[in-house]
Amino acid sequence: MGEISTGLAHEIKNPLTAVKGFIQLLSENHYHHYLDIISSELEKALSTINNLLHVAKPELENEPSTSLNLCSELESLLFLFKDQFYRVEIEKRFYDKEQNIIGRKNLILKA
């Protein structure tokens, strides 16, 4: 799943990066507030893709295990992807928010 996500993210990121470059070129000669809106929305999309790439990195399997708070990590992930949920409501029930686990943080986040 991580390899598919990484490949897909790269395929989407490359054309968006080209669009970003052309928007910057257009902005140098012609100002229009729509260009600012396009640029802002494009940055959000690229940020989401970069976050996906960060979570899906397959080389993190060699990461050492550390103590981490699973509830806190889940909250961070939910915040990170909140714009992707649209009409989906997430119900959270964390019973022991202070409990830590031992694990490979980025592999857990990748799952």
Closest CA to 49 of 87, 98, 83: 83
Q: Contact, 74 vs 106, CB < 8 A?
A: no
Query: Which is more confident, 61 or 89?
Result: 89
Closest CA to 94 of 83, 78, 110, 105: 78
Q: How far apart are the first and last CA of the chain?
A: 9
Q: pLDDT band for position 59 (50/70/90)?
A: low
Map out the domains of the chain as residue ranges. Answer: 1-56, 62-111
Q: What average pLDDT does the segment 56-66 reach? A: 71
CA distance 74 to 82: 12
- How do residues 82-106 score in pLDDT, each as one tens digit? 777 777 788 888 888 888 999 888 7
